[in-house]
Amino acid sequence: MPNGSLDKFISENMSVKMEWERLYDIAVGVSRGLEYLHNGCVSRIVHFDIKPQNILLDKDLCPKISDFGLAKLCKNKESIMSMLDARGTAGYIAPEVFSKNFGGVSHKSDVYNWIFKDLEREEIMRIFGDRITEEKEKIARKMVLVGLWCIQTNPSHRPAMIKVIEMLERTLEALQVPPKPLLCLPATTVPETVEDSNETSSFSWPSQFERGTVIGEDTLRISEEDIVPCSSS
């Protein structure tokens, strides 16, 4: 992986002109990888430690999901899984992983990601100033909108990875602004089950949203036959 991890790539490029098209391609590649883990394998694989440090980039900047030390296999594509203890990296753990008051742990816990930008503060545009074009601004806003859907506190309100891919491939105008995630919810407001990824492609609140390349060096190994390209083809 000559280009290292995603966090290294981002930190080294923040001081120069960031190519939002490239970041968009990486985001789609990671989404396809997670969709493959969740629905393309014989048993569903939940990674539980998705973060920029665990996304590796090859010479073509094609993302690979790595480090399966905390991964959990789910037989028969079951939605809710039992957890004896919380797992993951502080700052990236979905709320339901450390507190059942937020709902059941499922593949939706992988959907919860690291995007916390507030569109109202125009943070993305402030970082790049006059260097960002209108087209790049649309790409940036779309990625942030999708990310904000992914960090909904209630797991059932997060998109499944197949829906994340669909949203990323839609136009900015086709997306709705999600409600701001709540840091705390009463247990009675959170459903106990999470539907699988066969929902319709509806993106209106509170509709439930529900392939990519993966590599593993720790507890999980995936054969070459299981690898699929990062490209949409």
Residues in Cβ contact with 67 at an 8 Å cutoff, skipping those fewer than 6 apart: 49, 54, 216, 217, 218
Q: Which residues pair with 63 in a beta bridge?
A: 57
Contact 215, 67 (CB under 8 A): no
Tally the residues of the chain: 233
Write the DSSP symbol of residue 44.
E
The gap from C-alpha 169 to its chain's centroid, in whole angstroms, comes to 14
* Terminal alpha carbon distance of the chain: 22
226 among known catalytic residues: no
Q: Would residue 103 be called left, alpha or beta, if left means φ above 0 and alpha means ψ between -120 and 50 degrees?
A: left
Distance, CA of 22 to CA of 41 (rounded, Å): 27
Contact 111, 150 (CB under 8 A): yes
Alpha-carbon torsion (100, 35, 46, 23), positive or negative: negative
Q: Would residue 42 be called left, alpha or beta, if left means φ above 0 and alpha means ψ between -120 and 50 degrees?
A: alpha
Among residues 25, 49, 67, 110, the one annotated as catalytic is: 49
What are the structure tokens assigned to 207, written together? 């509709």
Active site residues: 49
